[in-house]
Chains A and B, each alone.
Chain A
Amino acid sequence: MTTTLTRPVARTAPPVGRKPVNRVSRWQIYLPLGLYLLFTLVPFYWMVVFAFRPRGSNSLLPWPVTLDNFEHVWTGMGFSVFFQNSLLVGVASLVSTTVIALAGGYALARYDFRGRQLFLVGMLCTQFIPGAMMLIPLFEIFRTLGLVNSLWALVIAETVFQLPLSLILISGFVKNIPIELEQAAWVDGCSRLRGFFAVVLPMLRPALVAVGSFAFIHSWNNFLFALMFVNEQDKFTLPVGLAFTIGEFSADFGALAAGGVVAAVPVVLVFAVIQRYLVQGLSAGAVKG
Chain B
Amino acid sequence: MRVARSPRTPYVLIAPAVVAMLGFLVYPMGSVVYYSLQHYDVTQPWDNGFAGLENFRVLLFEDPLFWQSLGFSVKWVVVEVVLQLLFGLALALIVNETFIGRAVSRALVFSPWAVSGVLTTGIWILLYNPSTGIFRYLADLGIGTYDTAPLADPSTVFTAAVVAELWRGVPFFAILLLADLQTVSGDLYEAASVDGASRIRRFVHITLPHLKDAIILSTLLRAVWEFNNVDLLYTLTGGGPAHQTTTLPLYVAAKAVQSHDFGYGSALTTAAFVVLTFFSIAYLRLSKFGART
Q: For B119, B180, B235, B253, which residue has the most chain A Cβ atoms within 10 angstroms?
A: B119
Interface size on B, residues (CB 8 A): 101
Name the CB-closest residue of B to A164: B21
Q: Is the CB of B116 within 8 A of A100?
A: no
Contact B32 A136 (CB under 8 A): yes
Q: How far is the CB of A129 from chain B (nearest CB, A)?
A: 6
Cross-interface CB contact of B115 among A141, A183, A221, A246, cutoff 8 Å: A221
Please tell me if the beta carbons of A103 and B14 are within 8 angstroms of each other in the complex.
Answer: yes
* Further pairs besides A104-B17, A135-B253: 16, Cβ < 8 Å: A21-B193, A29-B94, A39-B167, A47-B123, A47-B126, A100-B20, A107-B11, A130-B228, A130-B252, A130-B273, A137-B35, A141-B28, A253-B132, A260-B119, A260-B123, A268-B115
The segment out of A4-12, A63-71, A111-119 that lies at the interface is A111-119
Q: Is the CB of A29 within 8 A of B253?
A: no
Indicate which residue in A33, A161, A263, A282 contacts B116 across the interface (CB closer than 8 Å): A263
State whether B1 touches A33 (Cβ < 8 A).
Answer: no
B266 in the interface (beta carbon within 8 A): yes
B116 touches A128 (CB 8 A): no
Asked if A233 is at the interface of the complex by the 8 Å CB criterion, the answer is no
Interface residues of A in 115-135 (CB under 8 A from B): 116, 119, 122-123, 125-135
Which residues between 42 and 59 of chain B lie within 8 Å of chain A, taking CB atoms?
Answer: none
**Residue in A133, A242, A270 whose CB lies within 8 Å of B119:** A242
Assess whether A272 is interfacial by the CB under 8 Å rule. Answer: yes
**B-facing residues in A156-206 (Cβ within 8 Å):** 156-157, 159-161, 163-164, 167, 179, 183, 192
What are 21 of the A-B contact pairs (CB < 8 Å)?
Answer: A37-B109, A43-B167, A44-B111, A46-B123, A110-B2, A112-B1, A126-B21, A130-B252, A130-B269, A133-B273, A136-B266, A137-B27, A156-B20, A160-B20, A221-B117, A221-B119, A242-B118, A245-B122, A279-B106, A279-B179, A287-B180
Question: Hey, which chain A residues are within 8 Å of B182, CB to CB?
Answer: 279, 283
Within 8 A of B (CB), among A47-100: 47, 50, 60, 100
Q: A37-B109, A130-B249, A260-B123 are in contact. Are A29 and B97 (CB under 8 A)?
A: yes
Q: Is the interface of A mostly helix, strand, loop or mixed?
A: helix
The interface residues of chain A lying within 8 Å CB-to-CB of B105 are 33, 37
Find the A residue at minimum CB distance from B249.
Answer: A132
B97/A24 in contact, CB under 8 A: yes
Which A residues contact B (CB, under 8 angstroms)? 16-17, 19, 21-22, 24, 26, 29-30, 32-33, 36-37, 39-44, 46-47, 50, 60, 100-101, 103-104, 106-108, 110-113, 116, 119, 122-123, 125-138, 140-141, 156-157, 159-161, 163-164, 167, 179, 183, 192, 217, 220-224, 228, 239, 242-243, 245-246, 253, 256-257, 259-260, 263-264, 267-268, 270-272, 275-276, 278-283, 285, 287-288
Contacts of A132 in B (CB 8 A): 228-230, 249-250, 252-253
**Knowing A26-B99, A111-B4 touch, does A40 contact B123 (C-beta < 8 A)?**
no
User: Which residues on A sit within 8 Å (CB–CB) of B235?
Assistant: 223, 243, 246
B103 interfacial by beta-carbon distance below 8 Å: yes
- Give the segment of B64-72, B78-86, B142-150, B213-221 that binds chain A: B213-221
Contact digits for B164-200, partner A, Cβ 8 Å, 1 yes 0 no: 0001000000011011101100100110011000010
Q: Which residues on the B side are within 8 Å of A268 (C-beta)?
A: 111, 114-115
Given contacts A128-B276, A133-B32, A135-B256, contact A223 B118 (CB under 8 A): yes
Bound-state Cα–Cα, A288 to B131, Å: 48
Give me the 9 closest cross-chain CB pairs, A-B, nearest first: A221-B116, A137-B28, A282-B179, A111-B10, A271-B114, A133-B269, A107-B13, A104-B17, A283-B179
Across the two chains, which residue of chain A brings its CB closest to B255?
A: A136
Residues of B near A126 (CB, < 8 A) are: 21, 25-26
Q: Contacts A40-B109, A136-B35, A283-B180; is A111 near B117 (CB within 8 Å)? A: no
Inter-chain contact A113/B32, CB cutoff 8 Å? no
Bound: A201/B124 CA distance, A: 42
Neighbour of A246 across the interface among B107, B125, B268, CB < 8 A: B125
Q: Considering the chains assembled together, what is the distance between the CA atoms of A24 and B137 in angstroms?
A: 36
Task: Decide: A239 and B119 in contact? CB cutoff 8 A.
Answer: yes
A115 to chain B, nearest CB (A): 8
CB of B245, distance to nearest CB on chain A (Å): 15
A43 touches B262 (CB 8 A): no
Determine whether B155 belongs to the interface, using a CB cutoff of 8 Å to chain A.
Answer: no
